[in-house]
Chain A
Amino acid sequence: MTSKTPETMTPGAEGLAVLAGVILLLEAAADRCLNFLAADPAPPGLEESFALSDLGLGARVAAIQACALLPADIELLDIQTAESRLDRDDPLELVCAAEALTRTVPIDSLPRGSSRVVVALCDLLREHG
């Protein structure tokens, strides 16, 4: 009776756009962390460097996990992304923006398995917020 139709199982364009935006934001956050760590002068203390490194790796892994959710026949370039706030400097702000972006659509419009990415984002913010 209530078996889901293929239509309800397939993410819509809106969901894909959000996921693509999340990927770009997370990759930007991961790159920004590396840039800060490579900067001269380096971050002031080991604690700050470790936190930046952890945030960067966490963002990188979450981005890879999000990429794996995109349908195999779709490239990121093909998707009209829902995100234009990539120019932010603070990597934590970028992760915040990625998390906020996931809230703009109902969870069931995102590709199946997106809950893990949402949880990973929330965990990152909890650990570094």
Chain B
Amino acid sequence: MPALEGRSVGELLLDCDLLVRDVLMDTPLMDGRVMVRTWGEVVEAAADLWRAFPESSASANEFERRDPDQVLMEQLQTMNASLMKAARRRQWPGEGPGDDRLLRVCENLTTAAGLLPRRRTDVRPMRPEVRSDLDAAKARLVHVLYVGAHGVQVALNRDLRYLAAMPASKRAALPAESMKRTVEARDRMAAFEQLAGSYVWGTFPAALHGEHKPLPEPDRLRQALATWDIQAHRALAGAITAATMTLIAQTQAHTAFASQTLLRAGAETGSIEPGQYRTRLAPALESAQASWVGLATAWGQLAPSGGRGLERDLVTAANEIRAATLEIIHEGTGVASVETLAARVDLKQVAQTLQFGLATSTDLAYALLEATADPHVLASARSVNALAMALEARGTYGNVSTEAWVRPVDHAQDRPVALPDLVRISLTRAVERVTQAVTTAAGAAAFISAPDGAHQVKLLAPKPDSGPHHVLQRPACQAAARSRSCVR
């Protein structure tokens, strides 16, 4: 059942798992006292959620109905209660702020408990898949406590090291018995962790296999493609670097591979016309893939190692493209079968989304062409020099140039430099191959949404005996512009 912010119980638990993982990993952010103050609430919220879970089996006998897992949660709650009671009685850890991440865990757990409806298993037996999902949720919940408890323990150990290294004069200013109480809390947390661990070792991660996985969001891919298109254009409107061009080209190449995987599945299941796909679209997509890969490789050579300055939104959008395609296509460590793909998504709808993506990529390719001509595009001095020398060597006269391609001082420090004409011409050719290939692919994909596919294909596809590609690009670009407005 969705929460107000749209997350399911499983998603809320997963978020908790990721949060405690963060707590454990980013130890420099930790403060043991702050974490102990918050930990009690985490355990209480977890216990509330546990109680809200439906009972997995119905039994008339009250004693038999007592779930052994419930006993474990009660034990954990008791241990936590005595730790909190001791803390309240003493000055340590005292009043103060709580840990933000653990507080978010509390919020998630409380929201999840509120989402669970009361369910009577004595009148309506639990289905096996619901039982598996319940087991997965329990495993995830105890794992959250297990990892979180370890995180608190690590923080307390850091505090102890800090206290031990502190000069006596500074230590005197601290609340009395700080060291002793920190040791006590650390040992209690270790016992808590061990008890939670006894459950985790028997269930995690095996129990997660039974977790109910919601189907991919039907609109996620469309949204990802639209956001990517916008961010890529924004990035090209700013200061352009080789790293930006590489990321754009590589993401476009990946979109092309994902498109072909999904469109092939669409053709095999009859969601799109198989003949059109096989004879026109598949070869055009292969050509588009190859040209994007070629462009990404060319720009990749020119991007400096560890290049920074990439727009964060662009990187996030690229990541989302990967995540959105992976969610649909991936299974295990490979590609899902056609049957699985068809069960996950409406392949006809996905095909239309991908058609829009192909159309917008035509426009993006032309934006890249313009960006390549921009004299302010910067690339790594050493890479520019190496590529220029390689290109010159391939020429009629070999390496005859008497002037250096980049200034020695730029080369020594591998500074970003402008592109020499020789390099720019080579890159321009690579982008032109892309524009040609994606224009053809967008034209070949027009049949997917056209009411009379044949007519559209005739309009958009380039003729073999036609002139330069820019004469042909207009109808496809117009189609691209129309599709862009649809996507946005």
Residues of A within 8 A of B (CB): 1-4, 8-9, 20, 23-24, 27, 30-31, 34-35, 37-38, 42, 46-47, 49-51, 53-54, 56-58, 60-61, 63-65, 67-68, 70, 75-77, 107-108, 112-115, 118-119, 126-129
Contact = CB atoms under 8 A, between A and B. Distances in A.
Contacts of B254: 53-54, 56-57
Contacts of B251: 57
Contacts of A31: 297, 300
B188 interface: no
B27 interface: yes
Interface of B: 21-22, 25-33, 158-159, 162-163, 174-175, 178, 243, 246-247, 250-251, 253-254, 257-258, 260-261, 264, 289-290, 293-294, 296-297, 300, 304-308, 310, 312, 315, 318-319, 321-322, 325-326, 329-330, 333-335, 413-414
Contacts of B304: 76
16 contacts: A1-B175, A2-B162, A27-B306, A34-B250, A37-B293, A49-B257, A50-B258, A51-B334, A53-B258, A54-B326, A60-B247, A64-B243, A67-B307, A68-B308, A108-B27, A114-B26
Contacts of B33: 1-2
Nearest to B23: A115
A61 B319 CA distance: 7
Contact of A34 (B21, B32, B163, B300): B300
Contacts of A64: 243, 247, 310, 315
Nearest to A5: B162
Contacts of A42: 290
Nearest to B262: A50
A88 B159 CA distance: 42
A79 B335 CA distance: 39
Contacts of A128: 333
A65 B307 CA distance: 11
B333 A2 contact: no
A70 B322 contact: no
B306 A46 contact: no
